Amino acid sequence: MITLVRRITAVCALSAALAACGGGTEASRTGMTAPATSASASPSAPPRPSPSRPPALTPGPGGLTPVFSHGPRTKGKTVALTFDADMTADEGPRAAAGEHFDNPELIATLRALKAPATVFMTGRWAEQYPDQARSIGSDPLFELANHSYSHYAFTANCYGLPRVPAHRMRSDVEGAYEAFRKAGVPHAMPYFRFPGGCYDQQSLRALSGLGVTAVQWDVVSGDAFATNADAVVRQVLDGVRPGSVVVMHCTRSAAPTTERVVRAVVPELRKRGYRLVKVSELIGASADRA
Protein backbone atom coordinates (compact mmCIF):
# COMPACT_ATOMS: atom_id res chain seq x y z
CA MET A 1 0.00 0.00 0.00
CA ILE A 2 1.39 3.32 -0.98
CA THR A 3 1.87 5.66 1.95
CA LEU A 4 -0.02 8.87 1.30
CA VAL A 5 0.98 12.27 2.53
CA ARG A 6 -1.89 13.57 4.65
CA ARG A 7 -0.41 16.47 6.54
CA ILE A 8 -1.21 19.81 4.93
CA THR A 9 0.77 22.81 6.16
CA ALA A 10 -1.30 25.62 7.66
CA VAL A 11 -1.02 28.85 5.70
CA CYS A 12 -2.57 32.31 5.54
CA ALA A 13 -3.56 34.35 2.49
CA LEU A 14 -4.56 37.95 2.05
CA SER A 15 -8.31 38.39 1.70
CA ALA A 16 -11.68 36.95 2.60
CA ALA A 17 -11.93 36.29 -1.13
CA LEU A 18 -8.90 34.04 -0.72
CA ALA A 19 -8.40 30.99 1.40
CA ALA A 20 -7.20 32.27 4.73
CA CYS A 21 -5.74 29.60 6.99
CA GLY A 22 -5.53 25.84 6.53
CA GLY A 23 -5.49 22.90 8.84
CA GLY A 24 -4.55 19.27 8.49
CA THR A 25 -7.75 17.76 9.90
CA GLU A 26 -10.94 16.91 8.00
CA ALA A 27 -10.76 20.05 5.84
CA SER A 28 -7.54 21.55 4.49
CA ARG A 29 -7.61 25.02 2.95
CA THR A 30 -5.52 27.58 1.08
CA GLY A 31 -5.32 29.26 -2.32
CA MET A 32 -7.37 31.76 -4.27
CA THR A 33 -11.15 31.66 -3.97
CA ALA A 34 -14.05 33.69 -5.30
CA PRO A 35 -17.85 33.41 -5.46
CA ALA A 36 -19.13 31.12 -8.17
CA THR A 37 -22.44 30.37 -9.81
CA SER A 38 -23.90 27.10 -10.98
CA ALA A 39 -22.55 25.59 -14.17
CA SER A 40 -23.43 22.61 -16.27
CA ALA A 41 -20.92 19.80 -16.43
CA SER A 42 -20.28 17.00 -18.85
CA PRO A 43 -20.48 13.39 -17.69
CA SER A 44 -17.27 12.59 -19.57
CA ALA A 45 -14.54 10.93 -17.54
CA PRO A 46 -11.12 12.58 -17.36
CA PRO A 47 -8.56 11.46 -19.91
CA ARG A 48 -6.27 8.73 -18.68
CA PRO A 49 -2.56 9.49 -18.55
CA SER A 50 -0.42 8.25 -21.43
CA PRO A 51 1.88 5.32 -20.63
CA SER A 52 4.88 7.66 -20.61
CA ARG A 53 3.49 9.71 -17.71
CA PRO A 54 3.19 8.64 -14.06
CA PRO A 55 -0.37 7.65 -13.11
CA ALA A 56 -2.31 8.97 -10.17
CA LEU A 57 -1.42 7.52 -6.80
CA THR A 58 -3.38 4.45 -5.72
CA PRO A 59 -6.45 5.27 -3.58
CA GLY A 60 -5.88 4.92 0.13
CA PRO A 61 -7.87 3.10 2.83
CA GLY A 62 -11.60 3.14 2.23
CA GLY A 63 -11.08 3.91 -1.44
CA LEU A 64 -10.56 7.61 -0.73
CA THR A 65 -8.95 9.85 -3.34
CA PRO A 66 -5.25 10.11 -2.46
CA VAL A 67 -3.85 13.47 -1.34
CA PHE A 68 -0.34 14.63 -2.23
CA SER A 69 1.34 17.72 -0.78
CA HIS A 70 5.08 17.26 -1.32
CA GLY A 71 7.60 14.80 -2.67
CA PRO A 72 10.40 12.89 -0.96
CA ARG A 73 12.69 15.02 1.20
CA THR A 74 15.70 12.76 0.73
CA LYS A 75 15.80 12.01 -3.01
CA GLY A 76 17.56 15.12 -4.29
CA LYS A 77 16.78 18.82 -4.33
CA THR A 78 13.68 18.99 -6.49
CA VAL A 79 10.86 21.52 -6.33
CA ALA A 80 7.60 21.83 -8.28
CA LEU A 81 6.18 25.25 -9.12
CA THR A 82 2.40 25.13 -9.51
CA PHE A 83 0.06 27.86 -10.72
CA ASP A 84 -3.70 28.05 -10.21
CA ALA A 85 -5.51 29.50 -13.22
CA ASP A 86 -8.61 30.63 -11.35
CA MET A 87 -11.81 31.83 -12.95
CA THR A 88 -15.30 31.18 -11.63
CA ALA A 89 -18.47 30.65 -13.58
CA ASP A 90 -19.87 34.15 -12.92
CA GLU A 91 -16.80 36.16 -13.89
CA GLY A 92 -17.45 36.34 -17.64
CA PRO A 93 -18.77 39.92 -17.49
CA ARG A 94 -15.65 41.04 -15.65
CA ALA A 95 -13.46 39.42 -18.28
CA ALA A 96 -15.53 41.05 -21.03
CA ALA A 97 -14.97 44.40 -19.33
CA GLY A 98 -11.21 43.93 -19.57
CA GLU A 99 -10.20 42.16 -16.36
CA HIS A 100 -7.36 39.71 -16.96
CA PHE A 101 -7.82 36.33 -15.35
CA ASP A 102 -5.02 35.10 -17.58
CA ASN A 103 -1.32 35.95 -17.39
CA PRO A 104 0.43 35.38 -20.75
CA GLU A 105 3.51 37.27 -19.55
CA LEU A 106 3.98 34.74 -16.75
CA ILE A 107 3.76 31.81 -19.18
CA ALA A 108 6.21 33.53 -21.52
CA THR A 109 8.66 34.04 -18.65
CA LEU A 110 8.45 30.40 -17.61
CA ARG A 111 9.22 29.45 -21.20
CA ALA A 112 12.11 31.88 -21.44
CA LEU A 113 13.57 30.47 -18.23
CA LYS A 114 12.86 26.89 -19.37
CA ALA A 115 11.13 26.38 -16.02
CA PRO A 116 8.79 23.36 -15.86
CA ALA A 117 5.48 23.99 -14.13
CA THR A 118 2.10 22.42 -13.42
CA VAL A 119 -0.94 24.60 -14.11
CA PHE A 120 -4.19 23.81 -12.26
CA MET A 121 -6.89 25.32 -14.45
CA THR A 122 -10.62 25.79 -13.98
CA GLY A 123 -12.88 24.79 -16.82
CA ARG A 124 -14.27 28.31 -16.94
CA TRP A 125 -10.73 29.69 -17.46
CA ALA A 126 -10.25 27.28 -20.38
CA GLU A 127 -13.53 28.44 -21.90
CA GLN A 128 -12.52 32.10 -21.59
CA TYR A 129 -8.98 31.58 -22.94
CA PRO A 130 -9.11 28.48 -25.15
CA ASP A 131 -6.05 29.41 -27.22
CA GLN A 132 -3.95 29.86 -24.10
CA ALA A 133 -5.30 26.67 -22.53
CA ARG A 134 -4.41 24.74 -25.68
CA SER A 135 -0.95 26.33 -25.83
CA ILE A 136 -0.19 25.47 -22.20
CA GLY A 137 -1.60 21.98 -22.53
CA SER A 138 0.42 21.31 -25.70
CA ASP A 139 3.77 22.51 -24.37
CA PRO A 140 5.93 19.70 -22.94
CA LEU A 141 7.46 22.21 -20.53
CA PHE A 142 4.13 22.28 -18.68
CA GLU A 143 1.46 19.89 -17.52
CA LEU A 144 -2.16 20.95 -17.24
CA ALA A 145 -4.31 19.69 -14.36
CA ASN A 146 -7.84 20.17 -13.03
CA HIS A 147 -9.01 22.90 -10.64
CA SER A 148 -12.76 22.14 -11.05
CA TYR A 149 -15.12 23.71 -13.56
CA SER A 150 -16.96 26.31 -11.49
CA HIS A 151 -14.62 26.92 -8.55
CA TYR A 152 -17.32 25.97 -6.04
CA ALA A 153 -16.12 24.71 -2.66
CA PHE A 154 -16.10 20.98 -1.96
CA THR A 155 -16.70 21.48 1.79
CA ALA A 156 -18.80 23.76 3.96
CA ASN A 157 -17.31 26.96 5.39
CA CYS A 158 -14.68 27.41 2.69
CA TYR A 159 -14.18 31.18 2.78
CA GLY A 160 -17.66 32.08 1.61
CA LEU A 161 -17.66 29.95 -1.52
CA PRO A 162 -20.95 28.31 -2.48
CA ARG A 163 -20.74 24.58 -1.96
CA VAL A 164 -20.94 21.90 -4.61
CA PRO A 165 -23.53 19.32 -3.48
CA ALA A 166 -22.00 15.92 -2.91
CA HIS A 167 -23.87 14.40 -5.86
CA ARG A 168 -22.39 17.04 -8.20
CA MET A 169 -18.77 16.97 -7.07
CA ARG A 170 -17.76 14.38 -9.61
CA SER A 171 -19.53 16.14 -12.49
CA ASP A 172 -17.86 19.45 -11.58
CA VAL A 173 -14.45 17.84 -12.02
CA GLU A 174 -15.55 16.09 -15.20
CA GLY A 175 -16.86 19.41 -16.52
CA ALA A 176 -13.38 20.90 -16.36
CA TYR A 177 -11.91 18.01 -18.34
CA GLU A 178 -14.68 18.50 -20.91
CA ALA A 179 -13.82 22.20 -21.16
CA PHE A 180 -10.18 21.28 -21.76
CA ARG A 181 -11.24 18.88 -24.51
CA LYS A 182 -13.35 21.55 -26.19
CA ALA A 183 -10.43 23.99 -26.04
CA GLY A 184 -8.29 21.46 -27.90
CA VAL A 185 -6.03 20.49 -25.02
CA PRO A 186 -4.40 17.22 -26.14
CA HIS A 187 -3.74 15.86 -22.68
CA ALA A 188 -4.66 16.77 -19.11
CA MET A 189 -3.10 15.07 -16.12
CA PRO A 190 -5.13 13.06 -13.57
CA TYR A 191 -4.43 15.62 -10.84
CA PHE A 192 -7.01 17.79 -9.11
CA ARG A 193 -6.67 20.80 -6.83
CA PHE A 194 -9.66 21.58 -4.63
CA PRO A 195 -10.94 25.18 -4.87
CA GLY A 196 -9.68 26.97 -1.79
CA GLY A 197 -7.72 23.82 -0.95
CA CYS A 198 -10.80 22.69 1.02
CA TYR A 199 -11.59 18.99 1.24
CA ASP A 200 -12.92 16.39 3.65
CA GLN A 201 -13.60 12.66 3.60
CA GLN A 202 -16.93 13.14 1.85
CA SER A 203 -15.32 14.98 -1.06
CA LEU A 204 -12.40 12.54 -1.24
CA ARG A 205 -14.91 9.69 -1.41
CA ALA A 206 -17.02 11.46 -4.05
CA LEU A 207 -14.04 11.76 -6.40
CA SER A 208 -12.57 8.33 -5.75
CA GLY A 209 -13.97 6.82 -8.95
CA LEU A 210 -12.29 9.39 -11.18
CA GLY A 211 -8.75 8.08 -10.76
CA VAL A 212 -7.35 11.49 -9.82
CA THR A 213 -4.87 12.47 -7.14
CA ALA A 214 -5.67 15.59 -5.10
CA VAL A 215 -2.61 17.85 -5.14
CA GLN A 216 -2.07 20.33 -2.32
CA TRP A 217 1.24 22.01 -1.42
CA ASP A 218 3.67 22.68 1.40
CA VAL A 219 4.81 26.19 0.37
CA VAL A 220 2.30 29.02 -0.06
CA SER A 221 3.82 31.90 -2.00
CA GLY A 222 1.51 34.64 -0.79
CA ASP A 223 1.31 36.06 -4.32
CA ALA A 224 -2.46 36.55 -4.26
CA PHE A 225 -3.20 40.30 -4.17
CA ALA A 226 0.43 40.96 -3.23
CA THR A 227 1.98 44.24 -4.32
CA ASN A 228 5.46 43.62 -2.92
CA ALA A 229 7.17 41.09 -5.19
CA ASP A 230 10.28 40.99 -2.99
CA ALA A 231 8.24 39.84 0.01
CA VAL A 232 6.71 37.03 -2.04
CA VAL A 233 10.15 35.99 -3.30
CA ARG A 234 11.43 35.80 0.28
CA GLN A 235 8.43 33.77 1.41
CA VAL A 236 8.94 31.21 -1.36
CA LEU A 237 12.69 30.89 -0.87
CA ASP A 238 12.36 30.67 2.91
CA GLY A 239 9.76 27.90 2.62
CA VAL A 240 11.21 25.63 -0.04
CA ARG A 241 12.67 22.28 0.98
CA PRO A 242 13.60 19.25 -1.14
CA GLY A 243 10.43 17.86 -2.67
CA SER A 244 8.37 21.01 -2.10
CA VAL A 245 5.25 21.96 -4.03
CA VAL A 246 4.87 25.75 -4.30
CA VAL A 247 1.43 27.26 -4.98
CA MET A 248 1.20 30.49 -7.02
CA HIS A 249 -1.39 31.91 -9.40
CA CYS A 250 -1.81 32.49 -13.13
CA THR A 251 -4.38 35.26 -12.69
CA ARG A 252 -2.91 38.66 -13.43
CA SER A 253 -5.71 40.79 -11.98
CA ALA A 254 -5.55 39.07 -8.59
CA ALA A 255 -1.84 38.19 -8.49
CA PRO A 256 -0.07 41.02 -10.31
CA THR A 257 3.45 40.37 -8.99
CA THR A 258 3.75 36.69 -9.91
CA GLU A 259 5.68 37.13 -13.14
CA ARG A 260 8.28 39.27 -11.36
CA VAL A 261 8.44 36.74 -8.55
CA VAL A 262 9.17 33.92 -10.98
CA ARG A 263 11.95 35.91 -12.65
CA ALA A 264 13.66 36.18 -9.27
CA VAL A 265 12.81 32.81 -7.73
CA VAL A 266 13.77 30.49 -10.58
CA PRO A 267 17.42 31.58 -10.94
CA GLU A 268 17.88 31.66 -7.17
CA LEU A 269 16.48 28.16 -6.70
CA ARG A 270 18.83 26.88 -9.38
CA LYS A 271 21.73 28.72 -7.76
CA ARG A 272 20.89 26.88 -4.52
CA GLY A 273 21.06 23.55 -6.32
CA TYR A 274 17.37 22.88 -6.85
CA ARG A 275 16.05 21.21 -9.97
CA LEU A 276 12.61 22.37 -11.12
CA VAL A 277 10.21 19.55 -11.96
CA LYS A 278 6.55 19.00 -12.68
CA VAL A 279 4.21 17.50 -10.10
CA SER A 280 4.15 14.20 -11.97
CA GLU A 281 7.85 13.67 -11.26
CA LEU A 282 7.36 14.23 -7.53
CA ILE A 283 4.39 11.87 -7.46
CA GLY A 284 6.39 9.27 -9.37
CA ALA A 285 9.26 9.61 -6.89
CA SER A 286 6.85 9.20 -3.99
CA ALA A 287 5.39 6.06 -5.55
CA ASP A 288 8.87 4.63 -6.06
CA ARG A 289 9.66 5.29 -2.40
CA ALA A 290 6.59 3.44 -1.10
- 47 belongs to a structural domain: no
CA distance 120 to 86: 8
- 56 belongs to a structural domain: no
Higher pLDDT, 32 or 71: 71
Confidence of residue 211 (pLDDT cuts 50, 70, 90): very high
Lowest mean pLDDT among 4-13, 106-115, 133-142, 221-230: 4-13
Kindly report the average pLDDT of the chain as a whole number. 84
- List pLDDT tens digits, range 83-93: 999 988 888 89
The greatest distance separating any two alpha carbons of the chain, rounded to the nearest whole angstrom, comes to 51
- List pLDDT tens digits, range 233-245: 999 999 999 999 9
Q: What is the pLDDT of residue 290?
A: 57
Say which CATH number the domain at 164 has: 3.20.20.370
What are the angstrom distances between the C-alpha of 173 and each of 13, 206, 284? 25, 11, 23
Which domain range does residue 161 map to? Answer: 71-91+100-289
CA distance 28 to 197: 6
- What's this model's pTM, rounded to 2 decimal places? 0.83
- 211 belongs to a structural domain: yes
pLDDT (mean) for 28-32:
41
- 57 belongs to a structural domain: no
- 44 belongs to a structural domain: no
CA distance 288 to 274: 20
Confidence of residue 271 (pLDDT cuts 50, 70, 90): very high
- 188 belongs to a structural domain: yes
* Number of domains, the chain: 1
- 114 belongs to a structural domain: yes
CA distance 274 to 115: 12
In this predicted structure, the answer to whether residue 30 has a pLDDT above a threshold of 50 is: no
- 265 belongs to a structural domain: yes
- List pLDDT tens digits, range 163-209: 999 999 999 999 999 999 999 999 999 999 999 899 999 999 999 99
